[in-house]
Amino acid sequence: MPTATPGKACHFTMESTPEPLRAQLFQKEMQSTFSMHLAISSPPTTPLTAEVRGYFGRKLRFAALRFSAHSTVSTRTRHASESRLLVSCHKQGAAVVAQGGRESRIEAGDFFVIDPSRPFHIQTTDSEVHSVYLEPQALRHVLPQWDMLTARAIRPGVKTAALFTGLLDQLFAMAPDIGEDTANDIAEALPHLLAPALRTLQDEADTSPSRLKALHRQRILSYVRDHLWDSQLSAQAIAQGVNLSPRHVYELFDERDGHPLMKSVWKQRLGMCRRDLSAPAMRSRSIGEIAYAWGFSNVSHFSRAFKAEFGIGPREFRRSQDLALLPGATHLRHH
């Protein structure tokens, strides 16, 4: 599979790749060429096959893909800013896509958006798709709430969808001859053509303040769940991630709503640490490794916070869980 260079049409297949290595090499190629951080697996009885024809430029990247049945999930990366949005139009075959608590069945003619920097799942049959890979901030400038619209099927009957899919069809015809300047212009236009189709998915029937507040809170909580591991997570970072002002974020999570936002973040982190400390499968990981994995940057601070939250230090808690697993020590589970 040759590596693409910027501003060039690209083409690669799996034909000459040994079957056990196909998924790994396909993942590597999709990451290096299209900034797609994916984990791919195929049924044991059906080796992965794939053919990709596309264009790889500084701003514009798109591809026509044929592939066998497989599943795709996100690979969590601390470099989320490197990942591009996947906008996929199904030409043949079907898929089930899921992200953020949403799930949709995709048929030929439908298209959808996925954010690979957040957890998602795609299960697809043998398919042919046309995909374009967009920079997230470019779409956010046009449609700030796009992250609430991922994993939703946009049907071919939506008139505004035809503007976007029609341009994609033209792109594939132009790919061998497209110039970088033209490609950059098209890349800037794509979010403006995609946004009207995505807006058809919004619930326009209820735009009351309470509804908008609930939607914003859901977006914030989803962002927090996906970034608990990040030690740099702050109200300012969350506000930037969901495209709201820090003041608005603070107002959505004031004392009247239970826990303030950052206190909620700490409680969730402590809960995840408690879960891992009690898991036999995590015995090989030290208390410090578990704390760091969930965003704590100081073990002493973590230990004090853990004891304040649960009434017992993390070391003592882990020891009590070990004792509870010993034969005849069932009564210790309640101490």
Tell me the pLDDT tens digit for each residue of 308-327.
999 999 999 999 887 766 65
> Cα–Cα distance between 12 and 52 in angstroms, integer?
5
Q: Convert the pLDDT of each residue in 271-282 to its tens digit.
A: 999 999 998 888
What is the per-residue burial (b if ≥16 Cβ within 10 Å, else e) of 58-71? Answer: ebbbbbbbbbbbbe
Strand partners, 245: none
CB 46 within 8 A of CB 69: yes
* pLDDT tens string 59-85: 899 999 999 999 998 765 544 556 789
Half-sphere exposure of 244 (CA within 13 A, CB side): 22
**Neighbouring-strand partners of residue 207:** none
Mapped onto helix, strand or coil, the DSSP state of residue 331 is helix
pTM of the model: 0.60
Per-residue pLDDT, 147: 84
Contact 57, 38 (CB under 8 A): no
The DSSP result for 101-132, as a single string, is: TEEEEE-TT-EEEE-TTS-EEEEE-SEEEEEE
What CATH number does domain 209-334 carry, 1.10.10.60, 3.40.50.740, 1.10.10.10, 1.10.1840.10?
1.10.10.60
Instruction: State the number of CA atoms in the 13 A half-sphere of 191 facing the CB.
Output: 21
Q: State percent of the chain over pLDDT 90.
A: 36
pLDDT band at residue 257 using 50, 70 and 90 as cut-offs: low
294 or 280: which leads in pLDDT: 294
pLDDT band at residue 150, thresholds of 50, 70 and 90? very high
Pairing of strands 70-74, 95-99: unpaired
Token pair listed for 159: 């008139």
More confident residue, 332 or 108: 108
Correct CATH for 8-199 of 3.40.640.10, 2.40.240.20, 2.60.120.10, 3.40.50.1820: 2.60.120.10
Distance, CA of 129 to CA of 87 (rounded, Å): 10
Query: Of the candidates 176, 194, 91, 182, which has an alpha carbon nearest to the alpha carbon of residue 135?
Result: 194
The domains of the chain are located at 8-199, 209-334
